[in-house]
Each structure stands twice: as structure tokens, then as C-alpha cells.
Amino acid sequence: MNRIIVSIVILALLVCLCGWAVFTVRGKVADLKSKIEQVEEAFSQSDRETCVKAAGELEDEWRDFMNHSVLVNDLGHALEITSSIAEIYSFAQLNNEELYAACDRAQVQIEIFEDIQLPTFWKIL
């Protein structure tokens, strides 16, 4: 009987940790998307200083997330996002029109990253 109780407690703990991880990833993804939109908006308004500052904050937020994240399933994909975010910062500094493409690419990669992190029945099997 004690084994069943311990198994149920462990299962409940895993479900709670999974829920917390999903909540954390969704919150961070929303923050990153918002920051990317700020970069694009500042660039479209020709506010170079704000654009570069927002791009730097985007890069810092992503690096902070990766440094403190424990439950990242796909580090290769995370490195691609890091590269795209670095491109955004670089294009913002150079005031290059390629910034829009880099922002779109980063948003898509972040959406895929969010989907990869979500636990589903098929991913668990």
C-alpha cells in the first residue's frame, strides 16, 4: 500500500513540475514575442536608439532564460534561436532592412520552441 501512495505522490509531483514548466515557457515566449514586436515597431518608426536597446534587451532576456532553464528538450533548436536573436541585434545596430526577416524567423522559431516544450501524450511515448 505504501508503494502505491509513494507512486501517486511522485506522479503528482511530476505533473505539477510539468505544469510549472509549461507555464514558465509560455510566459517567457510571450515576453520574447512582445520584445520582438517592439524591435520591429521601433525600426519601422526609424527610432534607431530604441530599436537597438530593445534588441539588446531581447538578447539579454533570451540568454537569461537559457542560463536558468532546466527543462529544455532541444538545445540544438535553442541555439538556432540564439543565432536569430543575435542577427536581430546585429541588424538593429546596422539599421539594415533584413531585421524584419530576422524578426519573423525568430518568432517562428520561438513558436516551434514553445510547441516542442509542451508535453503531449505522443511526446511522452
- CATH number assigned to the domain comprising residue 92: 1.20.120
Tell me what pLDDT residue 125 has: 64
Q: What is the pLDDT of residues 72-107, one digit of tens each?
A: 556 677 888 889 999 999 999 998 999 999 999 999
Q: Please check whether residue 125 is in contact with residue 92, taking contact to mean a CB–CB distance below 8 angstroms.
A: no
- pLDDT lower than 50: segments of the chain: none
Q: Give how many domains the chain has, as a whole number.
A: 1
Q: Which structural domain, as residue segments, surrounds residue 27?
A: 2-124
Angle CA 49–53–57, to nearest 5: 170
Tell me what pLDDT residue 53 has: 93
Tell me what pLDDT residue 79 has: 84
